Amino acid sequence: MTASAYRYMARSFQETLGDEGSERRHERLLTWRRENTVTRLERPTRLDRARAIGFRAKGGFVVVRVRVRRGGQRKRAIIAGRRPKHKGINKMTLSKSLRWIAEERAQKHYPNLEVLNSYWVGEDGKQKFFEIILVDPAAPEIRADTKLAWITAPNQKGRVYRGLTSAGKEGRGLRWKGKGAERFRPSYAANRRDTRRTQYKVIP
């Protein structure tokens, strides 16, 4: 069976992640580190992945690359007295993924667009790089497309800030299908309140 062109694109990108493509990967990361935090691109780096999650080469689509610092949150040291365990300086892990944070930064940079989806393109010891696909809801090409007209609805305004993107749903636990998932969805807060009510219930 003949492989498609996108299969060869995916294979070419995978080769840059191994030892053979280390030199090419190093040059690419050097260039990306010199760019701005949010950089607009003419075309996606991973065209196969971009098309799989909704990108189309027509008007109304914008692709940007966002750089996010790796690791947990950084906190300043507290001068006043505290127990070391209560200072809260190290190991301050955010509940959001770095991909979700990258999407929010892209949305903040382009407030008239909406985030459609995103994907990983590279990382080094300090930073991770993601490419974000944004859509212009006011573009006539988007409004005429029956597969993308849903993003022009009023309830999709600021969708990345409300966890409606793929990264947001994953961070909210909506992709969790394992054991115990029924205890947290559809309402984690409601289940937590029920646990508190029954915790000290006196059984006669």
Residue 98 has pLDDT above 60, yes or no: yes
Note the pTM of the prediction, 2 decimals. 0.83
Q: What pLDDT, on a 0 to 100 scale, did the predictor assign at position 186?
A: 63
Closest by CA to 39, choosing from 66, 60, 62, is 66
pLDDT band at residue 4 under the 50/70/90 scheme: confident
pLDDT band at residue 185 under the 50/70/90 scheme: low
pLDDT band at residue 142 under the 50/70/90 scheme: very high
Residue 83 has pLDDT above 60, yes or no: yes
Q: What pLDDT, on a 0 to 100 scale, did the predictor assign at position 70?
A: 92
Cα torsion at 174, 55, 126, 34 (round to 10°)?
A: -160
Other C-beta atoms closer than 10 Å to the C-beta of 75 total 12
Q: What pLDDT, on a 0 to 100 scale, did the predictor assign at position 67?
A: 97
Residue 21 has pLDDT above 90, yes or no: no
- State both tokens at 99: 């991909």
Closest by CA to 114, choosing from 134, 93, 94, is 134
Q: What is the mean pLDDT of the chain?
A: 86
- Residues above pLDDT 70, as percent of the chain: 86
Other C-beta atoms closer than 10 Å to the C-beta of 179 total 7
- Superfamily name and number for 37-177: Ribosomal protein L15 (3.40.1120.10)
Q: What pLDDT, on a 0 to 100 scale, did the predictor assign at position 82?
A: 76
Q: What pLDDT, on a 0 to 100 scale, did the predictor assign at position 194?
A: 53
Lowest mean pLDDT among 125-129, 147-151, 172-176: 172-176
Q: What pLDDT, on a 0 to 100 scale, did the predictor assign at position 76?
A: 81
Q: What pLDDT, on a 0 to 100 scale, did the predictor assign at position 86?
A: 74
Closest by CA to 70, choosing from 94, 53, 106, 49, is 94
Domain boundaries, the chain: 37-177
Tens digit of each residue's pLDDT (9 = 90 or more) over 167-183: 998 888 787 777 666 66
CB 60 within 8 A of CB 136: yes
Q: What pLDDT, on a 0 to 100 scale, did the predictor assign at position 44?
A: 95
> Rounded to whole angstroms, how far apart are CA atoms 172 and 164?
9
